[in-house]
Structure 1
Amino acid sequence: MIYQGVLKKMMTENTEIIQYYLDMNDDFINMNQLLGAQIGIQFVSYECLNCHSAKEIYRQGFCKSCFFDTPNAGDWIMRPELSTAHLGIEDRDLAYEQSVQLKPHIVYLANSSNVKVGVTRKQQVPTRWIDQGAHEAIEILEAPNRYLAGITEVALKEHVADKTNWRKMLKNDIEDVNLVDWRNQLEAYIPDEAKSYFITDNTETHLNFPVLKYPIKPKSLNLLKTSKYTGKLVGIKGQYLIFEDETVFNVRSNEGLVVSLEF
């Protein structure tokens, strides 16, 4: 079968084993059902996720003009501490920014390659943890807006990592840690404005990924350099497809590429 569509990050469902779904225009593909199958991936063209033009993708699935214009790519997306909607100050589109920034946000610890701190909207739990390939995670704080969550993250990353080592995550080179202990140790470093939102009575969430075989030396597939690739799918973790020959493909980092899938 052959499907063609623009890549967007895989949708997920947190069941006993996480289920992955790829939206290919009019079709939803359950990627778990393809474990063990040969899959061909071929680059076809570009399609900006905002204006839907065939312009070359610049970042985050957007062409260059959209990346610097759409409110979906404002600096506060990657740096929550820059949020200003709580002050009524517009970055690119105040109505949109208020609709996102003024919702409850979670500051969390996730363990994928190592323990890291992060921020996400409450409605994105546990999707955000799944996308990062975390096998365990815990909420630290629930703030009423993105700004308070952002300044908390900035304060905590002085004491804990804020990045994931994707190679270690994909190799499953991880260790279980006591995230409750980590959360309690970090409480002292929460900014005064956010201390009242600290969570004290929750436990770790554990996540199970559909992986038959982890790579020893994962090598990333670049579809713009290798326009066509075929391999046997042996796992899915984070937003990565893992193949038997240790090739890995990050679906999310290739958003905006139109591809043909054959299996």
Structure 2
Amino acid sequence: MQYEGVLSKMETEFAAQIQYYLTFENSFLNVNQALDKNIEISFLGYQCLNCSKKKKIFRQGFCYDCFYSSPAVGDWIMRPELSTAHLGIADRDLDYETRVQLQPHVVYLALSSEIKVGVTRKTQIPTRWIDQGACEAVSIVEVPNRYLAGITEVALKNHFVDKTNWRKMLQNEVLTLDLIAEKTNIFDKLPEEVKPYFNPDLDEHFVLKYPVLRYPKKVTGLNLDKTPNFTGRLIGIKGQYLIFEDGTVFNVRSFEGYVIGMNIL
């Protein structure tokens, strides 16, 4: 089976085992069905996810010009504490920023290799946790805007990491830790203005299972700019990564905006 199109992050479905889908303009692939099969990936070109021009991708699926002009990649995306829409102050486009920033956000703890603190829009639960390859997750607070979520994350960075160790996540080197216990001890670490939003519901505990036949002992990232043609046997999918039998891993999200050909052999 052959597929061709512009890469965007895999769509996911929360189920007893996470389901993954690659979507192209005229077709889609349930990637779970390609497990234990050889997959050929070929790099064919670029297409910016914002302007659709065939320009080299700079970051996050955007060409250079779009990355520095689109409100969808403002600094407040990666650093929520920089959000200003609640003050009526624009970064790049106040209408866009108001729609995105002024909606319910959740601060959470997730376990992918060790305990990580993070922020996501409420509508992105549990998608955000799946994309990070988390095995477990619990919400801490639900706040009405991105700024409050951001200052909460900053406060909790003193106690938890804020980035996933992707190598350990893909090798399934996960520490045995109790997220519920961590949550019960977190209230005093919250900013004062956020404490009224604390979520005491200890039953809101997500456990996520991924379609992985076996985990590699070592992993090496596939870079399409350096290796434009690759063939390998797919043995797992976790986070936004395809895991191959030889230890090669392909981060789909890192290559958004790349035009590829994919052949399931």
TM-score (norm 1): 0.99
Segments of structure 1 that go 5 or more residues without pairing to the other structure are none
State the Cα distance separating 1:244 from its structure 2 match.
0.6
Q: 2:223 maps to which residue?
A: 222
Q: Does 1:150 pair with 2:150?
A: yes
State the Cα distance separating 1:175 from its structure 2 match.
2.7
Segments of structure 2 that go 5 or more residues without pairing to the other structure are none
Output the amino acid matched with 2:146: R
Q: 1:235 maps to which residue?
A: 236
Distance 1:44 1:67 in 2: 22
Distance 2:137 2:234 in 1: 26
C-alpha distance after superposition, 1:182-229 (max 9, x if no partner): 112221111111110001113321000000011100111001000100
C-alpha distance after superposition, 1:56-82 (max 9, x if no partner): 101110000000000100000000000
Count of residue pairs brought into register by the alignment: 263
Distance 1:19 1:67 in 2: 30
Q: 2:256 maps to which residue?
A: 255
SS at match of 1:214: coil
C-alpha distance after superposition, 1:148-202 (max 9, x if no partner): 0000000000111111110000000113321111112221111111110001113
Distance 1:28 1:142 in 2: 34
Q: 1:82 maps to which residue?
A: 82
Q: 2:128 maps to which residue?
A: 128
Distance 1:131 1:202 in 2: 23
Distance 1:26 1:79 in 2: 35
Distance 1:178 1:245 in 2: 33
The answer as to whether partners of 1:12 and 1:20 remain within 8 angstroms in 2 is yes
Q: Which runs of 4+ in 1 moved over 2 A?
A: none
Distance 1:47 1:202 in 2: 44
The 5-angstrom pairing of residues 31-42 of structure 1 reads 31-42=31-42
Q: Does 1:140 pair with 2:133?
A: no
The answer as to whether partners of 1:139 and 1:202 remain within 8 angstroms in 2 is no
Output the amino acid matched with 2:242: L
Distance 2:122 2:106 in 1: 5
SS at match of 2:186: helix
